[in-house]
Amino acid sequence: MPAESTALFTDRYELTMLAAALADGTAQRRCTFEVFGRRLPAGRRFGVAAGLGRLIPAICDFRFSGDELDALAAAGVIDERTAGYLAQYRFTGDISGYAEGEPYFAYSPILSVTGSFAEAVVLETLILSVLNHDCAIAAAAARMVVAAGDRPIIEMGSRRTHEQAAVACARAAYLVGFAATSNLAAGARYGIPTTGTAAHAFTLLHDSEAAAFAAQVESLGTDTTLLVDTYDISRGIETAIEVAGPGLGAIRIDSGDLAVMAHQSRAQLDRLGATETQIVVSGDLDEYAIAALAAAPVDSYGAGTAVVVGSGAPTAGLVYKLVEVDGRPVTKRSENKASAGGAKLGYRRHRASGTATEELVVQRRAGFEPATGDRLLSVPVLRDGEVLAHPTLADSREHHRAAMTALPWEALKLSAGDPGLTVSFG
């Protein structure tokens, strides 16, 4: 089955605007569009730039086939002139943006697209659909990583979302510090470590819990993780150690009051001599539930639903707005939807200690002179349609870790409030 064209991830009005601009001669005007959010989702103190590694290949592959153009023409979506333009379409402009993993704030210019109006306007829906999804997932997952501290988290939300979204979710979660995913497609496509053992169905398949555990240990070894809450947790732990011995790798608890269960399970495991057997907990965990388990004897977490739905914020609320035409700033003044004109760059200002204090959003043409310690956030990605930089997922993961370390502690709080970092415009 052939891959679906990325060119059809386009709203119809983008092509009708293109047709009108081709007709009146404005299609070739040099324009800059910017992606930003007017506000962060409720309760968030920072966002996380994510999805660029998926987006750039999609833009490079943005082509209309003859069959697609014929179908669009037959449906009255495009005219002959527009069909001729799209038949030769290839993005030849410039793109810069915040590196994947970089925290951002309201009005941060996280992506800048410069080219002719014709070639830039048709990318709006593709760009926003990728970035709104991945940035939302990354921000939610990053807050879970903050809450978990040094304890690893496994992404296991594939069954709670669209099959392709599940792969993107696993990528975004791994970018911001999750240790592994249950999704094999994400493992194959992005090299993310995968993990998984058994569900309750495997226990129910067998005539007894002991038989199920024995079969799993026989297949996977004693270092496996046994799911002990199908029936009675206390009895499940006892059976697990009887079958696997005190060298059992881990038990998993997926229900009940996880803090209470973790304390009781740790005490029971220790009494049984399984002092090195770890405790994994799962079951609709979000950042708040993980934070509530900070004092519990938990070794790692499994998070699913709250990851793939962005922990209550399934979109990052990003917009794609025209800010410059032929070098002239243009400004939208709609009530509650205003945008600042002119192509912009983002800088992060830091104390001597390395802690970020301010984000500076400056006009690209203003001749801004950065101070010592200012870090340019807007980095070139494409020039004249050619890819300049394509960091690996491992590179982006490390970039995120370092950038998060520089945020002030206020930004890392899970409660709503000020991030402790001002955003200034110049």
- DSSP three-state, residue 321: strand
Predicted local confidence at residue 2, as pLDDT: 47
Asked if residue 264 is part of any domain, the answer here is yes
**Residue 23: which domain range?**
6-137+313-425
**pLDDT above 80 for 157:** yes
The DSSP call for residue 10 is S
Share of the chain above pLDDT 90, in %: 89
Strands 225-227, 375-376: pairing kind: unpaired
**Residue finishing a domain among 282, 308, 334:** 308
**Whether residues 55 and 105 fall in one domain:** yes
**Whether residues 262 and 359 fall in one domain:** no
**Whether residues 392 and 273 fall in one domain:** no
**pLDDT above 80 for 335:** no
Q: Which of 274, 270, 207 is nearest to 242 (CA)?
A: 274
Asked if residue 395 is part of any domain, the answer here is yes
Q: Give residue-wise pLDDT tens across range 202-256.
A: 999 999 999 999 999 999 999 999 999 999 999 999 999 999 999 999 999 999 9
**Whether residues 151 and 283 fall in one domain:** yes
The DSSP call for residue 14 is H
Predicted local confidence at residue 3, as pLDDT: 58
Share of the chain above pLDDT 70, in %: 98
Angstrom distance (rounded) from CA 379 to CA 383? 11
**Whether residues 82 and 155 fall in one domain:** no
**Whether residues 277 and 168 fall in one domain:** yes
Q: Are 408 and 357 in contact (CB under 8 A)?
A: yes
Asked if residue 168 is part of any domain, the answer here is yes
**Whether residues 152 and 301 fall in one domain:** yes
- DSSP three-state, residue 202: helix
Q: Give residue-wise pLDDT tens across range 359-406.
A: 999 998 777 889 988 999 999 999 999 999 789 999 999 999 999 999
Predicted local confidence at residue 367, as pLDDT: 79
Q: What are 388's two structure tokens?
A: 């300049």
Asked if residue 1 is part of any domain, the answer here is no
Q: What is the 3-state secondary structure (H, E, C) of 377-391?
A: CEEEEEECCEECCCC
Q: Which of 180, 131, 156 is nearest to 317 (CA)?
A: 131
Predicted local confidence at residue 334, as pLDDT: 75
**Whether residues 65 and 126 fall in one domain:** yes
Predicted local confidence at residue 1, as pLDDT: 36
Q: Is 93 exposed, middle or buried (0-12, 13-18, 19+ CB in 10 A)?
A: buried
Asked if residue 394 is part of any domain, the answer here is yes
Asked if residue 406 is part of any domain, the answer here is yes
**pLDDT above 60 for 40:** yes
**pLDDT above 70 for 184:** yes
Asked if residue 291 is part of any domain, the answer here is yes
Angstrom distance (rounded) from CA 63 to CA 68? 10
Q: What are 203's two structure tokens?
A: 């226990």
Residue type, 56: I
**Whether residues 26 and 127 fall in one domain:** yes
Task: Find all residues with CB under 8 Å of 107, minimum gap 6, and list them.
Answer: 36, 37, 38, 340, 361, 423, 425
End-to-end CA distance of the chain: 51
Phi, psi of 423 (to 5 degrees): -115, 120
Q: Which of 177, 187, 182 is nearest to 161 (CA)?
A: 182
Angstrom distance (rounded) from CA 308 to CA 183? 12
Q: What CATH number did the domain enclosing 112 receive?
A: 3.20.140.10
**Residue finishing a domain among 308, 329, 344:** 308
**pLDDT above 90 for 328:** yes
- DSSP three-state, residue 167: helix
Is the whole-model pTM more than 0.85?
A: yes
**Whether residues 61 and 96 fall in one domain:** yes
Angstrom distance (rounded) from CA 41 to CA 37? 9
Task: Find all residues with CB under 8 Å of 98, minimum gap 6, and list them.
Answer: 49, 104, 108, 110, 111, 346, 377, 378, 379
**Whether residues 277 and 150 fall in one domain:** yes
Asked if residue 405 is part of any domain, the answer here is yes
Secondary structure element (H or E) that encloses residue 239, with its range: helix 233-244
Q: Are 50 and 134 in contact (CB under 8 A)?
A: yes
Torsion angle defined by CA atoms of residues 354, 360, 363 and 367, in that order, rounded to the nearest 10 degrees: -40
Q: Give residue-wise pLDDT tens across range 411-420.
A: 999 999 999 9
Predicted local confidence at residue 323, as pLDDT: 97
Q: What is the 3-state secondary structure (H, E, C) of 139-160?
A: HHHHHHHHHHCCCCEEECCHHH
Please give the mean pLDDT across all residues of the chain. 95
**pLDDT above 60 for 110:** yes
Q: What CATH number did the domain enclosing 228 receive?
A: 3.20.20.70
Q: Which of 104, 98, 100, 97 is nearest to 40 (CA)?
A: 104
Q: Categorize the per-residue pLDDT at 310 as very low, low, confident or very high, splitting at 50, 70 and 90.
A: confident
Number of structural domains found in the chain:
2
CA 119 to chain centre: 26
Q: What does each C-alpha distance from 415 to 44, 178, 259, 423 come to in angstroms?
A: 8, 21, 21, 20
**Whether residues 79 and 152 fall in one domain:** no
Can you tell me the mean pLDDT for 177-188? 98
**Residue finishing a domain among 244, 279, 308:** 308
Angstrom distance (rounded) from CA 47 to CA 133? 12
Q: Give residue-wise pLDDT tens across range 4-13.
A: 679 999 999 9
